[in-house]
Structure 1
Amino acid sequence: MLLIYTHKISPRLKYIFKHICTRILDVNVSFTTKIEEFIAHDSLKMSYTRQQLGNEFFIKSHDILFEQGLSDVEIHVHDWGDTKGFFSNGDKSAIPFDIFAASFYLLSRYEEYLPQVRDEFGRFLATESVAFKHDFLHQPVVDIWAFKFKDALQSHFPDFNFPKRTYSIKPVIDIPSAYNYKLKGIIRTFGGAIKDLLRLRLKNLYDRFMVIFGLKHDPFDTFKYIINKQKQSRFKFVFFFLIGSYSTYDKGINANKKKFVSLIKQVADYSIVGLKTSFFAIDSIAVLKKEKVQMEAIINTSLTASKQSYSKLNLPETYRNLIELEIEEDYTMGYVNHIGFRAGSCTPFLFYDLDYEIQTPLKVHSYHLMDFALLKNHSLLDKKMVLNQIMNEVKQVNGTFIPVFHNYTFSNDQRWFGFKELFNIILESVNED
């Protein structure tokens, strides 16, 4: 057990030390404000305060972990070996940055509470983040810092054996619409056919009616392929089905359709099934509750996981709604058009509510890559290179790689050429040395 001496045991301090020490390094941690207790402890120990007590392992503390609410925090990012760091803390500290304060800033999404430019859907932009502006979005810096901290501790306590964790994957399959043409109803099918005709999309028109009359396979119906991949992998995929009402933003399948319900049940036999919330459920707990109840009736068990439409998060309200409805996990934290680590980590973490100053029970699984972001790279070779780069970043800290693919990504559409091969690379990455 690692004992931390500090001048004040705050909720923020307990939260971030438990994440870095327990969730990343798998070392239990406890806290004291009593010097006598600290001196008497005969195992791992460190002081985290303003002034060093003697010659103990010491990291000088930044004020952010002892504050409440938001303040105008100055961020000065500096190079630190192969990575970056901020909140530098002078020569006497065992490491040159207060990684606990910096990690808290990133994991709590402190910057997303501050005024900033948002996109047309009201989403926080990757380009507004400190990670993008200072060129460390591509690295899980919280995990990298944790291992730098571990190395420094190991030098001070050479006889202590730290546990080791292993690299893993958690593929996410996002399903805004299970089918492109099937189960759309007469009005939507007729409307779609008219649009195809007016825009001279004759191939779409031909495909639409071939699918409807059962002469051709629906291009979005790739579930047999994905389930076969799931059977070959020891890691569970997480499927998110949209079952909300049809709207300007959501064009899914009616959840009352028996074949759609049957599909969800079939997928739930092999993988984890979560709720892809509708666009209007993001801001309405009543709509969210309705969709949750509906999904639980389909899968015949409690709903544990959600992913918000369009990867939109309104912090802290979105997460508070999930907590109130006892949804345990969320997979929304990520960027649609940028590859990288929105919260700076490849380790799932608990959401910290900055307004209430409490650690919540909601576990956030931040995704690191969405299939759309790979479309920026035109050649398959470039896509493979970018994919391997981000996976290698996760492998170096033995974290969990979370990619997001859509059901239509595995179709034969030319736009998604090679994506089956990319998905295979991810699945096989756990078998490599």
Structure 2
Amino acid sequence: MQYIVRFFSKELGTPEWQLTDDAQAFLTEQGARINYSGEVLDMQSLHIVPHGLLSQTGIQQQPVNVTQLNGLPVFFQTGGVLGFDVFAAAFYLLSRYEEYLPFEQDRYGRFPATQSLAHKNGFLKTPLINRWTQLLYEQLVTRFPGVTFRQTAFQFVPTYDIDMAWSYRNKGFIRNTANLLKEAFSFQFSAFSKRFRVLTGKEKDPFDQFGWLNGMHEKYQLKPYYFFLVAEHTNRYDKNISPQHKDMKALIADHAIRYPIGLHPSWYSNTEPSALKKEKALLAAITGTAVNASRQHFLKLSFPQTYRNLLKAGILFDFSMGFADEHGFRASVASPFCWYDLEAETATDLLIFPFCFMEGTAVFYKKDSPEAGLAELQKLYHEVKIVNGFFSMIWHNSSFTDEGVFKGWKQVYETFITGRTAI
């Protein structure tokens, strides 16, 4: 109850709400009042009838019946002014309650979007909790017109995962020779020729899009976040350039001067907390600053262990809250929020920054054309803007090559950035 009250007081821009079980003290309070009980105490306070979830202990299957009220999807219908328990419903979504229950994992061991309540009931692409917050606001200002609420400000933060800084350069003699031989013997002459031209300095590496991005950021006054994969050993999923390579160190250091830098924990580190701490320390040594932000590689997020590991490693901000297989709002919110450890039944200081669009989702999962991807990106941006929320998206430097499956996607990014003020 304290956790969800703190969340809504922040969203509504008020001092933190005070909880009391003293009916007399409640009725004599001069400010805005919410009666969260089964009894009607007075006619002015906003009455929300509890569902019961917030007074439960343990984790159990919750009967959830989604219907439409006030033009929005709702569940935990209990009557009262809003018709449902907005606090319990918001807590259920924010805590990712359903991800603690049994589910069928995808091939990477993740919770798929298709199994989520939001996807099954058609509200995955709606920042539903922000919409519910607007309903709460409207009811409170009607009942208590003298109370001041501070409007939240819309925020836009582009983010990039640097899984592999260069396609050909700086991979070392053995890796490049092996790939050249593979391309030659499999008659991939175009790929062989391109690799050879890049390695001999006759052509720029296609993944080296950093200068172009810097120009975009400066021109449109953007403040992005970069997440670097610095795994010490390469494997099937961790294919980054060695963090010990001088060019890789120089690239990271240059970006650390310009932008906030975060860790992209390796696939290996997801189950090896000691590796996570090593990678964090390595990135901090390269940047010369503390590293306190992260985003999971492959968005491999398991509750509660992943976030517990991040906290133990000293991570304070995480940007992994979103799905790989679908666009939309994994926690049904377009606002940063603190993670609640449902299993331990405690609020934490880990601040979660959700994202709702990833170009890899459009290209590899949805098989969208660049035009369809742009339309989806603009639609999600509009959804967040109308609630004055936090809009974040994921791109990779490798997506701006304008080659192969990424043909046209560099233009999508540029068109979106240049035209977003009109959305």
TM-score by length of 1: 0.93
Once residues 370 and 173 of structure 2 are traced to their aligned partners in structure 1, the CA distance between those partners, rounded to angstroms, is 39
Paired amino acid for 2:212: Y
- Higher alpha-carbon deviation: 179-188 or 50-59: 50-59
Once residues 69 and 249 of structure 2 are traced to their aligned partners in structure 1, the CA distance between those partners, rounded to angstroms, is 52
Which residue of 113, 117, 122 corresponds with 2:109?
Answer: 122
Cα contact 2:402–2:410 (8 A) shared by 1: no
The equivalent residue for 1:153 is 140
What do the CA deviations read for 1:386-426 (whole angstroms, capped 9, x no partner)?
Answer: 11111111011010111100001111214223323332344
Which residue of 46, 51, 75 corresponds with 2:64?
Answer: 75
The question of 1:274 aligning with 2:262 is answered yes
The equivalent residue for 1:58 is 47
The equivalent residue for 1:209 is 196
The question of 1:315 aligning with 2:303 is answered yes
The question of 1:187 aligning with 2:174 is answered yes
Cα contact 1:268–1:299 (8 A) shared by 2: yes
TM-score by length of 2: 0.95
How far off is 1:103 after superposition?
0.8
Paired amino acid for 1:350: C
Q: CA RMSD in A?
A: 1.5
Tell me how many residue pairs correspond in the alignment: 418
Paired amino acid for 1:263: L
Cα contact 1:337–1:370 (8 A) shared by 2: no
Which residue of 303, 322, 341 corresponds with 2:329?
Answer: 341
Paired amino acid for 1:282: N
Once residues 78 and 162 of structure 2 are traced to their aligned partners in structure 1, the CA distance between those partners, rounded to angstroms, is 46
Which residue of 82, 86, 89 corresponds with 1:102?
Answer: 89
Once residues 430 and 25 of structure 1 are traced to their aligned partners in structure 2, the CA distance between those partners, rounded to angstroms, is 26
* Aligned positions of 1:230-379 closer than 5 A: 230-244=217-231, 245-375=233-363, 376=366, 378-379=368-369
Once residues 214 and 290 of structure 1 are traced to their aligned partners in structure 2, the CA distance between those partners, rounded to angstroms, is 34
The question of 1:173 aligning with 2:160 is answered yes
Once residues 62 and 413 of structure 2 are traced to their aligned partners in structure 1, the CA distance between those partners, rounded to angstroms, is 40
* 3-state DSSP of counterpart to 1:170: strand
Once residues 429 and 396 of structure 1 are traced to their aligned partners in structure 2, the CA distance between those partners, rounded to angstroms, is 16
Once residues 337 and 419 of structure 2 are traced to their aligned partners in structure 1, the CA distance between those partners, rounded to angstroms, is 23
Cα contact 1:168–1:430 (8 A) shared by 2: no
Once residues 415 and 271 of structure 2 are traced to their aligned partners in structure 1, the CA distance between those partners, rounded to angstroms, is 37
Once residues 414 and 5 of structure 2 are traced to their aligned partners in structure 1, the CA distance between those partners, rounded to angstroms, is 36
How far off is 1:83 after superposition?
2.6
Structure 1 segments (4+ residues) deviating >6 Å = none
Once residues 121 and 378 of structure 2 are traced to their aligned partners in structure 1, the CA distance between those partners, rounded to angstroms, is 22
* 3-state DSSP of counterpart to 1:84: strand
What do the CA deviations read for 1:264-291 (whole angstroms, capped 9, x no partner)?
Answer: 1111111111111100101111000110
How far off is 1:372 after superposition?
1.7
Once residues 113 and 104 of structure 1 are traced to their aligned partners in structure 2, the CA distance between those partners, rounded to angstroms, is 14
Q: In the superposition, relative to structure 1, how do residues 217 and 331 fare at CA in structure 2: closer, same or farther (>3 Å)?
A: same
Q: Structure 2, unaligned stretches of length 5 or more?
A: none
Once residues 243 and 377 of structure 1 are traced to their aligned partners in structure 2, the CA distance between those partners, rounded to angstroms, is 29
The equivalent residue for 1:4 is none
Paired amino acid for 1:121: Y
The equivalent residue for 1:163 is 150
Once residues 425 and 70 of structure 1 are traced to their aligned partners in structure 2, the CA distance between those partners, rounded to angstroms, is 45
How far off is 1:78 after superposition?
0.4
Q: In the superposition, relative to structure 1, how do residues 428 and 165 fare at CA in structure 2: closer, same or farther (>3 Å)?
A: farther
- Higher alpha-carbon deviation: 417-426 or 292-301: 417-426
How far off is 1:202 after superposition?
1.3
How far off is 1:296 after superposition?
0.4
* 3-state DSSP of counterpart to 2:182: helix
Paired amino acid for 2:150: P
Cα contact 2:48–2:85 (8 A) shared by 1: yes
Once residues 83 and 425 of structure 1 are traced to their aligned partners in structure 2, the CA distance between those partners, rounded to angstroms, is 31
Q: In the superposition, relative to structure 1, how do residues 168 and 345 fare at CA in structure 2: closer, same or farther (>3 Å)?
A: same
The equivalent residue for 1:419 is 409
Once residues 154 and 238 of structure 1 are traced to their aligned partners in structure 2, the CA distance between those partners, rounded to angstroms, is 37
Once residues 84 and 391 of structure 2 are traced to their aligned partners in structure 1, the CA distance between those partners, rounded to angstroms, is 26
Once residues 148 and 244 of structure 2 are traced to their aligned partners in structure 1, the CA distance between those partners, rounded to angstroms, is 55
* 3-state DSSP of counterpart to 2:264: strand
Q: Structure 1, unaligned stretches of length 5 or more?
A: 1-12
Once residues 430 and 304 of structure 1 are traced to their aligned partners in structure 2, the CA distance between those partners, rounded to angstroms, is 29
The equivalent residue for 2:370 is 380
Cα contact 1:167–1:430 (8 A) shared by 2: no
What do the CA deviations read for 1:222-245 (whole angstroms, capped 9, x no partner)?
Answer: 000111122234442010111102
- Higher alpha-carbon deviation: 412-421 or 59-68: 412-421
Once residues 128 and 134 of structure 2 are traced to their aligned partners in structure 1, the CA distance between those partners, rounded to angstroms, is 10
The equivalent residue for 2:187 is 200
Percent identity of paired positions between Structure 1 and Structure 2: 32
The equivalent residue for 1:88 is 77
How far off is 1:380 after superposition?
3.4
- Higher alpha-carbon deviation: 159-168 or 204-213: 159-168
How far off is 1:429 after superposition?
5.8
